[in-house]
Amino acid sequence: MSTLEVDNVSLSFGGVNALNAVSVTVEAGGITALIGPNGAGKTSLFNAVSGFYRPQAGRVLFEGRDISALRCPQRAALGIGRTFQNIALFRGMTVLDNVKLGAHVRTRTGLFSALWYLGRARREETQIREQIEREVFDFLEIDHIRRHPVAALPYGLQKRVELARALAMRPRLLLLDEPVAGMNREEKEDMARFILDVKEQWGVTILMVEHDMGMVMDISDQVYVLNFGQVIASGRPETVQANPEVIEAYLGTDDMTTLRRRLRGESEAA
Amino acid sequence: MRIGSPKETYAADEALFRTRTQWAWFGVLLAALAGFPFVANLYWLYLVCLVSINVIAVTGLNVLTGYTGQVSLGQAAFMGVGAYTVAWLENHTGSPFPVNLLAGSVVATGVGLIAGLPSLRVKGLYLAIATIAASFILLFIFKNWESVTNGTRGIGIEPPSAFGVALENPDTFYWLVVPVTVVMLLLASNLFRTRIGRAFIAIRDRDISASVLGIDLPRYKLMSFGISAFYAGMAGGLYAYFFGSINPESFPLLMSIFLLAAVIVGGMGSMLGSILGGIFMTLVPELLRYGIDFLGLFMENASAVLSPVRTVVFGLLIVGFLLFEPLGLAEIWRRIRRFFHLWPFRT
Amino acid sequence: MDWLFLFEVSLAGLGRGGLYALTGVAFVLIYKATRVINLAIGEMLMVGAYLFIGFGAGMALPLWLAVILALLGGALLGFVLERTAIRPLLGENPISVFMVTIGLSSVLVGLVEIIWTANPRSLPDLLPRDPIFIGDAFVAPKTFWSFVIAAGVIAVFLLLFRFWRGGVALRATASDQGAAYAMGINVPAVYSLAWALAGLLAAGAGILLGAISGASSSMGVFGLTVLVVVIVGGLDSVLGALLAGVLIGWVESVAGVYLGGEYEQLFTFSILLVVLLVRPWGLFGTREIERL
Ligand SMILES: Nc1ncnc2c1ncn2[C@@H]1O[C@H](COP(=O)(O)OP(=O)(O)OP(=O)(O)O)[C@@H](O)[C@H]1O
Ligand SMILES: [Mg+2]
């Protein structure tokens, strides 16, 4: 059974058709990449999966279950984790608290216990702290900044904290929106390694939006190409890369040289 | 920070006071609070009682506005709900004062939850305005529900008594209000060590991504409103007992602005800020009174300008802090502390 | 039911609504240009009334001159407030800016009380006093004339907004700040202009309101009702402010006369709560869609 099935989803804002009968299947245990020119509707698709946008038509199935009617928090509670294209960390909190927040859906502490910090509150807080230290901080190599306010961190680290926050939830499906955008080569390589590790060690299914073609070709098992809200191609990375329609879609956009470079997989930062 | 035995040390790392020094300072503070009544005169005790009541209300408002990002201009009206509930119970049922205070807080919580309903639809400024509306409606009820509130004439309340002693004057009332304040501050601080507090802050910082990450916004926003109103209700109940009479004028919109000012001046999203803001804003009028008394030596009817000067100063404090020190006194304190490396509290 | 009486009450309500609409337009002007929710609008209005008292009664200037000076004073106040307290917070959290305006309103009230004391004042007689009849219905002359003047000012203002260069710059900035910059519009100057004009309009409304019911340091509460007006109408809609102003003026008058004065605000704020729950962006406002 596939982990995520987006079934004929259509979404429009006023006149703009952000998604037009889009169907995407994300197989369990793999990395599926979603690519396409700017404004193709990739983030909108993520938002439809997260529950932030309500599609006008179509269904979203998670592990076989129709979740179209569920609200965002309920979907998160099922195990859909996410990072955001424009970093959406909670700027007033430390790294540790941001990551702990990711574990929110796994904990149950109620108000009364929280106020007195007794019983469940104490138990759960200690427990998630340990888990985060052990599973997330060590893994992503951010234990040295746990007490830093996130707002002061450099961009690359912020992206990593976002990943940490998503992992703290122990997701079953992880949506990554442009995880390496704006990073330098070294940071990109680190991030690619983390993503592969998440897939292999944690067994998390990943759906990833990425403009960096090199990275997409390297790590993904399956690629979907979106253009003007429609899926124009899908398949193994090699096949998709060679698909003339895909090249056309990219060439059709304004900034040809950068896109050509992207297609060839050269790093933008380089 | 690699630590040998993770289980114990992470728990210690999560503690409210993380070092022995911090515990020691907390002890010193408690001891000072316990010893204060034996050395201070009635005037100072009166001030401490007033500060305490305000600190409770400010703490509640800080939970809602400073930590959860929901601006409220209804805190004074919720205090009124607590105060009227206590007054009614005291005069009609004769139930013991702890029961009355709790009941007042609970009723205020209920009203706060209702007043918080617009937060499910609107946020930010719209919400602030909705709370102004709620505040007006509550004041209307205080004025016009004669059978319960006695209208504009107000109600008198007998002082509470414990162990046969009437807590009538600041020297006795102190023993009620200060411990309650300390407990309520500790409870609020605890809250922000847990998932609930984090959810509040996440809503303040970025509500929609909080929701995508699994925070149920309606639930936590209302919870925050409820907590805030609970604190207001407690403060209002204590206010009623402390002053012995209340009327609709006791809880005007201006007082809500005063409490909001205290949150801003003290430091939004900081418990230390609630304390400092409560102290500072309570003492400012007193200082102004001294200043004006002093002016009175040179100026005829200087006392007439006391109230407007206070109004101006409150306004200037709000504007000044927002412009120049948006993190409030708590941040100034932190800077001083960093300088001396002394103070026990984590922020 | 006494229909004539209801008609008279309604006319009085429209008169009051005219002032709401005028102040509402001032509010919307600031909001459209700078996205600031100005809670001090009522206090700016109050300062206008007191300036008029100061120039007209205190300094005994001719009334027409006192009006002009008070209006200019209001404009200057708007300009100064923007430059000193609002501009530095440009781009900050709108809630901080909102709270700054709460602080400003407190400062203005205090200053007025220090200068003119907290006691209510009456304004020098400004409006004609001959009784006015519309059909059989009597309208208080002050109400009638203030409505006429408010309507006139709003009309002039709308024309300016449409045709004058500054008005066009204002509208351009309101609809797309980035584009306005790119077109060479001096956006900071537009901010100043918006606040100065709003200060002027508010001062005008203050003089009219003072002429009807006297001035007091609590007359800024009028601003709270104006806030309701603009929310009901839609924060960024001039048309909304006009219609909602008249509507709420009417509802208040009717409620006040038939149920008692204390019910006026109860009605206003109940309307507000209903609108917030049902249609938070107001009758004519733009609905903002959040992005993630
Ligand atoms: N909330 C919204 N309101 C109006 N239009 C929207 C909204 N969200 C997205 N759109 C529109 O939908 C289309 C798809 O946007 P989307 O953000 O999904 O693109 P994308 O593929 O993620 O692009 P990018 O690579 O630039 O991130 C765009 O035309 C965008 O303007
Ligand atoms: Mg995108």
List, for residues A119-168, the tens digit of each pLDDT value: 899 999 999 999 999 999 999 999 999 999 999 999 999 999 999 999 99
Residue A57 Cβ inside 6 Å of ligand 1? The answer reads no
- Find the domain containing B157 and state its range: 40-342
β-bridge partners, A22:
A9
Task: Quote the CA–CA distance of C106 and C87 in Å, as a whole number.
Answer: 19
Which residues of A are less than 8 Å from B7 in CB distance? Answer: 126, 130
Q: Which positions 150-209 of C are in contact with B (Cβ < 8 Å)?
A: none
pLDDT of residue A104: 96
Nearest-neighbour CA in chain A from C104: distance (Å): 27
**Residue of the nearest CA to atom 11 in ligand 1?**
A18
Q: Which residue is listed with tokens 């200087």?
A: B302
Q: Which residue is listed with tokens 């979740």?
A: A67
* 8 Å CB contact of C103 and B322: yes
Write down the mean pLDDT value for chain A: 91
For residue A85, report the phi and psi dihedrals to the nearest 5 degrees.
Answer: -65, -50
Q: Say whether residue C277 is in contact with chain A using an 8 A CB cutoff.
A: no
State the amino acid at position B36 in one-letter form.
F
Q: Say whether residue B123 is in contact with chain A using an 8 A CB cutoff.
A: no
Render pLDDT for A200-227 as a digit per residue (tens, 0 to 9): 999 999 999 999 888 999 999 999 999 9
* 8 Å CB contact of A130 and B7: yes
Hey, how many other C-beta atoms are within 10 angstroms of the C-beta on C205? Answer: 33
> Confidence band (pLDDT; 50, 70, 90) for C1?
low
Determine which of B144, B319, B327 to mutate to test the interface with C (most C C-beta atoms within 10 Å): B319
Which residues of B are less than 8 Å from C100 in CB distance? Answer: 318-319, 322-323
Domain-embedded: residue B128 = yes
pLDDT of residue B63: 98
Which residues of A are less than 8 Å from C289 in CB distance? Answer: 13
Hey, how many other C-beta atoms are within 10 angstroms of the C-beta on C161? Answer: 18
In degrees, rounded to 5, the angle at the alpha carbon of residue C83 between the alpha carbons of residues C78 and C88 is: 135
**Residue of the nearest CA to atom 10 in ligand 1?**
A18
Which residues of A are less than 8 Å from B229 in CB distance? Answer: none
> Confidence band (pLDDT; 50, 70, 90) for C196?
very high
CATH node for A1-79+171-270: 3.40.50.300
- Let me know: does A11 contact A230? Beta carbons within 8 Å: no
Q: At what angle do helices C221-233 and C263-278 cross, to 10 degrees?
A: 30
In degrees, rounded to 5, the angle at the alpha carbon of residue C233 between the alpha carbons of residues C230 and C234 is: 80
For residue A6, report the phi and psi dihedrals to the nearest 5 degrees.
Answer: -95, 120
Which residues of B are less than 8 Å from A129 in CB distance? Answer: 10-11, 13-14
Q: How far is the CA of A268 from the centre of ligand 2 (A)?
A: 17
Determine which of C89, C96, C102 to mutate to test the interface with B (most B C-beta atoms within 10 Å): C102
pLDDT of residue C84: 95
Q: What is the mean pLDDT of residues C120-144?
A: 82
Residue A158 Cβ inside 6 Å of ligand 1? The answer reads no
pLDDT of residue A269: 43
Q: Residue A97 contacts by C-beta under 8 Å, 6 or more apart in sequence?
A: A90, B198, B201
> Confidence band (pLDDT; 50, 70, 90) for B6?
very low
* 8 Å CB contact of C292 and A43: yes
- Let me know: does B70 contact B123? Beta carbons within 8 Å: yes
Domain-embedded: residue B14 = no
Instruction: Output the six-digit token pair for C27.
Output: 């509010």
Residue C289 Cβ inside 6 Å of ligand 1? The answer reads yes
Mutate to test the pocket of ligand 1, among A6, A11, A44, A84 (most ligand atoms within 8 A of CB): A44
* Ranges for all domains in chain A classified under CATH 3.40.50.300: 1-79+171-270
Residue A184 Cβ inside 6 Å of ligand 1? The answer reads no
State the amino acid at position C105 in one-letter form.
S
Helix (H), strand (E), coil (C) string for chain C? CCHHHHHHHHHHHHHHHHHHHHHHHHHHHHHHHHCCCCCCHHHHHHHHHHHHHHHHHHCCCCHHHHHHHHHHHHHHHHHHHHHHHHHHHCCCCHHHHHHHHHHHHHHHHHHHHHHHCCCCECCCCCCCCCCEEECCEEECHHHHHHHHHHHHHHHHHHHHHHHCHHHHHHHHHHHCHHHHHHCCCCHHHHHHHHHHHHHHHHHHHHHHHHHHHCECCCCCHHHHHHHHHHHHHCCCCHHHHHHHHHHHHHHHHHHHHHHCCCHHHHHHHHHHHHHHHHCCCCCCCCCCCCCC
In degrees, rounded to 5, the angle at the alpha carbon of residue B307 between the alpha carbons of residues B238 and C199 is: 115
pLDDT of residue B249: 92
Hey, how many other C-beta atoms are within 10 angstroms of the C-beta on B122? Answer: 18
Residue B15, helix vs strand vs coil: coil
State which residue of chain B sits closest to C93, comparing Cα positions: B124
Domain-embedded: residue B35 = no
- Let me know: does B327 contact B268? Beta carbons within 8 Å: yes
pLDDT of residue B196: 97
Q: Say whether residue C292 is in contact with chain A using an 8 A CB cutoff.
A: yes
Q: Give all chains having 3 or more CB-to-CB distances under 8 Å with chain B.
A: A, C
Task: Quote the CA–CA distance of B235 and B241 in Å, as a whole number.
Answer: 10
Q: Residue B95 contacts by C-beta under 8 Å, 6 or more apart in sequence?
A: B89, B103
| Interface contacts B/C by beta carbons within 8 Å | 128
What percent of chain A is predicted at pLDDT more than 70? 93
Q: Is the dihedral of CA A70, A74, A76, A79 positive or negative?
A: negative
Domain-embedded: residue B209 = yes
Q: What are the CA-CA distances from residue B88 to residues B85, B97, B156, B243 (Å)?
A: 5, 12, 10, 15
Q: What is the mean pLDDT of residues C269-290?
A: 86
Task: Tell which residue, C6, C27, C22, has the closest CA to residue C282.
Answer: C27
Q: Which residue is listed with tokens 């944690």?
A: A202
CATH of the domain at B333: 1.10.3470
pLDDT beyond 80 at B56:
yes
> Confidence band (pLDDT; 50, 70, 90) for A270?
very low
- Could you say which of B121, B311, B323 has the minimum Cβ distance to residue C277? B121
Q: Say whether residue A69 is in contact with chain C using an 8 A CB cutoff.
A: no
Q: How far is the CA of A252 from the centre of ligand 1 (A)?
A: 18
State which residue of chain C sits closest to A46, comparing Cα positions: C292
Residue A34 Cβ inside 6 Å of ligand 1? The answer reads no
β-bridge partners, C132:
C139
Nearest-neighbour CA in chain C from B306: distance (Å): 9
- Let me know: does C113 contact C220? Beta carbons within 8 Å: no
pLDDT of residue B304: 78
Q: What is the mean pLDDT of residues A227-239?
A: 93
State which residue of chain B sits closest to C264, comparing Cα positions: B140
pLDDT beyond 60 at C146:
yes
* 8 Å CB contact of A90 and B14: no
Render pLDDT for A80-133 as a digit per residue (tens, 0 to 9): 999 999 999 999 999 999 999 999 999 999 999 999 999 899 999 999 999 999
- Let me know: does A195 contact A7? Beta carbons within 8 Å: no
Q: How far is the CA of A39 from the centre of ligand 2 (A)?
A: 7
pLDDT of residue A261: 59
Q: Residue C18 contacts by C-beta under 8 Å, 6 or more apart in sequence?
A: C146, C147, C150, C151, C245, C246, C249
Mutate to test the pocket of ligand 1, among A6, A11, A13 (most ligand atoms within 8 A of CB): A13
Task: Quote the CA–CA distance of B233 and B101 in Å, as a whole number.
Answer: 8
> Where is average pLDDT lowest: A213-217, B150-154, B174-178, C124-128?
C124-128
Task: Quote the CA–CA distance of B161 and B152 in Å, as a whole number.
Answer: 27
Which residues of A are less than 8 Å from B213 in CB distance? Answer: 76, 81-82, 101-102, 104-105, 165, 169
Specify the pairing of strand A205-209 against strand A173-177: parallel
Please count the CA atoms within 13 angstroms of the CA of C13 that sit on its side-chain side: 24
Specify the pairing of strand A80-82 against strand A173-177: parallel
pLDDT of residue A56: 95
Q: Give all chains having 3 or more CB-to-CB distances under 8 Å with chain C.
A: A, B
Residue A255 Cβ inside 6 Å of ligand 1? The answer reads no
User: What ranges make up the beta strands (E) of B243-303?
Assistant: 245-246
Which residues of B are less than 8 Å from A126 in CB distance? Answer: 7, 10-11, 14
Residue A18 Cβ inside 6 Å of ligand 1? The answer reads yes
Instruction: Output the six-digit token pair for C262.
Output: 């204390």
Nearest-neighbour CA in chain A from C252: distance (Å): 38
Q: How far is the CA of A82 from the centre of ligand 2 (A)?
A: 13
Residue A17 Cβ inside 6 Å of ligand 1? The answer reads no
Task: Quote the CA–CA distance of C292 and C278 in Å, as a whole number.
Answer: 24
Domain-embedded: residue B143 = yes
Ligand nearest to the CA of C292: 1
pLDDT of residue A119: 87
Domain count, chain B: 1
State which residue of chain C sits closest to B144, comparing Cα positions: C262
For residue B111, report the phi and psi dihedrals to the nearest 5 degrees.
Answer: -65, -40
Render pLDDT for C201-229 as a digit per residue (tens, 0 to 9): 999 999 999 998 889 988 988 998 999 99
pLDDT of residue C168: 86
Q: Say whether residue B7 is in contact with chain A using an 8 A CB cutoff.
A: yes
β-bridge partners, A11:
A19
Instruction: Output the six-digit token pair for A52.
Output: 């932030």
